[in-house]
């Protein structure tokens, strides 16, 4: 008799080609990818203690696909593998793991995360209230410009034009203010660390103004990790390294369904029944986006 966790593993193995082609043909064809990671506890009976800490990475494309990947270490190896051959914008939080990726793959252009920079100033507020409040106020105005663009439902060229007209002057003001604070703040103080981080990554932080398709921050990737963080409180850890990889496969398909407003149960029930007999050259049809499109086309034709 197959126990439930073995069923889950068998299903993940069956669906792995779909997650793989979704990564290659959809996420890596996006003009921009957002990437982030979180820790994942994994059981490993060969070691003491048995629970090891690994990392679950997320790669989110423009149209809503998200692909997860498991690695043991938070280093360059995972992103180097997942981003091989990619050309486009990569939005990340300036972690060292991405440094070699940007060096080895010159076709990738780094985009920074304003929310990450803002977080440092919020953390430094208790020790440097006035300068941090001023920096946060300027960053808030940048987000206000993005809110206006969203409320007006501006397309990419119009959003870029608004950013050039309003956000660029605000960014120049923020940069000048940070340069003033760098002179006054102790380098190792919370304020000094916040200022230093922002200025070191200034080109990447302001790159979102160059293309209206880009986002001001990496929150899309963080939001894609949030359901995993919540679920982790219930299941606590993956039972093995293989289980961690299978978790990445299943989460890729379920979370992509949610982003594309597809009922995951309906999608999985249909795809699981068909994937083993579906032609390998047509596996792309079973990715959530293509599955939804084909069902809509079929419904329109039937009507």
Q: What is the pTM of this model?
A: 0.92
Helix (H, G, I), strand (E, B) or coil at 41: strand
Give per-residue pLDDT as tens, 240-277.
Answer: 999 999 999 999 999 999 999 999 999 999 999 999 88
What is the pLDDT at residue 276? Answer: 86
CA 87, CA 220: separation in Å to the nearest integer?
Answer: 20
Contact 51, 41 (CB under 8 A): yes
Contact 180, 209 (CB under 8 A): no
**Could you tell me the two tokens for 37?**
């990671």
Sheet-wide strand order for 32-43? 66-71, 51-61, 32-43, 88-91, 108-111
As a whole number, mean pLDDT of residues 187-206 equals 96
pLDDT above 60 for 299: no
**Could you tell me the two tokens for 115?**
């929310």
Start-to-end CA span in the chain (Å): 45
Contact 58, 33 (CB under 8 A): no
As a whole number, mean pLDDT of residues 216-237 equals 90
What is the pLDDT at residue 37? Answer: 96
pLDDT above 60 for 3: no
pLDDT above 90 for 78: yes
As a whole number, mean pLDDT of residues 124-152 equals 97
As a whole number, mean pLDDT of residues 117-135 equals 96
- The secondary structure of 57-91 as a DSSP string is EEEEETTS-EEEEEESSSSTHHHHHHTTT--EEEE
What is the pLDDT at residue 58? Answer: 98
What is the pLDDT at residue 25? Answer: 96
Cβ within 8 Å of residue 115, ≥6 positions away: 216, 217, 218, 219, 222
pLDDT above 60 for 302: no
How many CB atoms sit inside 10 A of residue 81's CB?
A: 11
Instruction: Pinpoint the alpha helices (H) of 31-167.
Output: 77-82, 99-104, 114-124, 129-151, 156-162
Virtual torsion, Cα 24, 29, 31, 33, nearest 10 deg:
-10
What is the pLDDT at residue 128? Answer: 95
Residue boundaries of the structural domains of the chain: 4-110+219-302, 114-200
What is the pLDDT at residue 296? Answer: 83
pLDDT above 50 for 114: yes
Report the share of the chain in percent with pLDDT over 90.
81
Give per-residue pLDDT as tens, 15-74.
Answer: 999 999 999 999 999 999 999 999 999 998 877 778 999 999 999 999 999 999 999 999
List the Cα angle 250/289/268 in 5-degree steps: 40
């Amino acid at each position: 008799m197959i126990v439930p966790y073995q069923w889950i593993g068998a299903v993940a193995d069956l669906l792995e080609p779909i997650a793989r082609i979704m990564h290659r043909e959809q996420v890596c064809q996006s003009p921009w990818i957002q990437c982030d990671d979180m820790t994942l506890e994994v059981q490993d009976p060969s070691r003491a203690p048995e629970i090891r800490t690994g990392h679950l990475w997320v790669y989110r494309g423009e149209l809503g696909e998200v692909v997860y990947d498991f690695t043991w270490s938070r280093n360059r190896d995972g992103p180097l593998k997942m981003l091989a051959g990619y050309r486009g914008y990569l939005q990340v939080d300036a972690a060292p793991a991405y440094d070699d990726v940007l060096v080895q793959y010159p076709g990738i252009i780094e985009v920074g995360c304003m929310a990450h920079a803002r977080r440092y100033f919020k953390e430094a507020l208790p020790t440097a209230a006035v300068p941090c409040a001023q920096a946060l106020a300027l960053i808030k105005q940048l987000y206000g410009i993005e809110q206006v663009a969203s409320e007006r439902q501006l397309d990419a060229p119009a959003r870029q034009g608004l950013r050039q007209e309003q956000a660029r002057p605000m960014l120049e003001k923020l940069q000048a203010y940070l340069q003033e604070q760098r002179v006054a703040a102790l380098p190792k103080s919370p304020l000094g660390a916040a200022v230093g981080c922002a200025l070191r990554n200034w080109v990447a932080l302001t790159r979102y103004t160059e293309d209206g398709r880009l986002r001001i921050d990496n929150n899309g990737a963080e939001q894609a990790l949030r359901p995993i963080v919540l679920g982790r409180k219930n299941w606590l850890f993956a039972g093995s390294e293989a289980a961690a990889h299978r978790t990445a496969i299943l989460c890729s398909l379920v979370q992509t369904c949610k982003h594309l407003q597809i009922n995951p149960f309906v999608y999985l029930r249909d795809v699981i029944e068909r994937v083993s007999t579906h032609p390998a050259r047509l596996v792309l049809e079973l990715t959530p986006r293509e599955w939804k499109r084909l069902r809509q086309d079929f419904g329109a034709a039937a009507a």
